[in-house]
Amino acid sequence: MENQSFGFLSKKPYTAPSWARHLSPIPSHVFSLAHLPTPIHKWNLPNLPKEVELWIKRDDTTGMQLSGNKVRKLEFLMADAVAQGADCVITIGGIQSNHCRATAVASKYLNLDCYLILRTSKALVDKDPGLTGNLLVERLVGAHVDLVSKEEYAKVGSVMLTDSLKEKLISEGRRPYVIPVGGSNSLGTWGYIEAIQEIERQQLDISSDSTGKPGFDDIVVACGSGGTIAGLSLGSWLSELKAKVHAFSVCDNPDYFYNFTQGLIDGMQAGVKARDIADILDAKGLGYALTTAEELEFVKEVAAATGVILDPVYSGKAAFGMLKDMNDNPGKWEGRKVLFIHTGGLLGLYDKADQLAPMVGNFRRMDIAESVPRKDGTGKMF
């Protein structure tokens, strides 16, 4: 997509990249919600093996409150919601879901109500969820929040939960549009098929003014609900890019994601096997949204060394897993030009503030000598 700053929040007819035109169905429209193209720059990660050339694509900068990878999916999903005449959107996720926050904001931009079903612990499900991280944005923009416990979620499943809220809203005369967990269905997958076209174009600029290898050999990304890797791996496979996509799973195991991604790919009649086009690895560690001190220390170290702030739940685990894999399997990565996709999630970091507190830098009371004279203004505070 071209630079969209003038068309922000406009809906336009969608034209698929030439190499994706045989997929079906092709979305008819797309909303411009993300600030694109997102930058790509070299990334000198601490402890990166010398034989690897690492770059980062900053999809954390697709916007401000509407930031991260979910915005690319929402460009297609929200266009469909509007085309179907919806007056409200329902979606579902964890208590600090970035997808739910992005959906809440996008809905308000498009004048739609937003209903969020958020999963939390049994001990907290009857309490005010507070205003930490993504919740602050969701509640400020007036999203309706329904809390469910992890046990209820596991028992009933996300589809049943969204369907029952949908029925309730329909009985009240509303026209709801349901977006699945993480925006990961075949329609949302187009967001990252488009991103591949963006990378193809950027790659040309990068190779013309760098002395390194011309194209990316590998793409590395976090995987939470599967839509991002489905789009990236299918797009990379179909286009000239042909970079191998390595997905680091932060929740379920690789088999689950091979099957899930296969479903998304089949939903576009792509006729390829997920196992042939993606390399899915386990990076969940302690479990979804649970972070070890070592992982948090890594997030802190990367921020201090490179200025790039990873989130602890997704991109932090993916980058941590990538470095581990590079060091454990040097032959797999040697001489490769790798593009890491930063998928956002900064607001989720606030949820880890207590764990991070002992790791962050010192502060001190400034020492001002009594005799220092004033140089500027009148001495009034404001």
Chain contacts with ligand PLP (rule: CB under 6 A): 68-69, 98-99, 182, 184, 222-228, 311, 314-315, 343-345
CB of 346 to ligand PLP, least distance (A): 8
User: What's the burial of 207, exposed, middle or buried (CB within 10 Å: 0-12/13-18/19+)?
Assistant: middle
β-strand pairing of 244-249 with 278-282: parallel
10 Å CB burial of residue 37 (0-12, 13-18, 19+) is: buried
- Looking at the Cβ atoms of 99 and 166, the one nearer to ligand PLP is 99
- Taking the complex as a whole, the smallest distance from the CB of residue 221 to ligand PLP amounts, in Å, to 7
Decide whether 176 or 182 has the Cβ nearer to ligand PLP.
Answer: 182
In the complex, minimum distance from the CB of residue 334 to ligand PLP, in angstroms, rounded to a whole number: 27
Catalytic residue among 97, 225, 233, 236: 97
For 84-157, where are the alpha helices, taking DSSP H only? 98-109, 134-140, 150-156
* 33 vs 206 by CB, closer to ligand PLP: 33
Separation CA 359–CA 336 (nearest Å): 33
Looking at beta carbons, which residue is closest to ligand PLP?
224
In whole angstroms, how close is the CB of 209 to ligand PLP at the nearest point?
29
* Closest distance of CB 54 from ligand PLP, Å: 18
Q: How many residues does the chain have?
A: 382
Q: Which of residues 96 and 197 has its CB atom nearest to ligand PLP in the complex? A: 96
Contact present, 30 and 75 (Cβ < 8 Å): yes
DSSP 265: H
Q: Does the active-site annotation cover 97?
A: yes
What is the rounded distance in angstroms from the CA atom of residue 148 to the CA atom of residue 141?
21
Q: How far is Cα 157 from Cα 177, in angstroms, rounded to an integer?
A: 18
**CA-to-CA dists, residue 304 to 53, 71, 222, 347, 361, angstroms:** 20, 27, 21, 18, 10
Q: C-alpha angle with apex 302: 300 to 304, nearest 5 degrees?
A: 70
CA–CA distance, 81 with 112 (Å, rounded to integer)? 9
**What totals of helices (H) and strands (E) does the chain contain, helices first?**
13, 12
Q: How far is the CB of 136 from ligand PLP (least distance, A)?
A: 16
Instruction: Tell me which residues are annotated as active site.
Output: 97
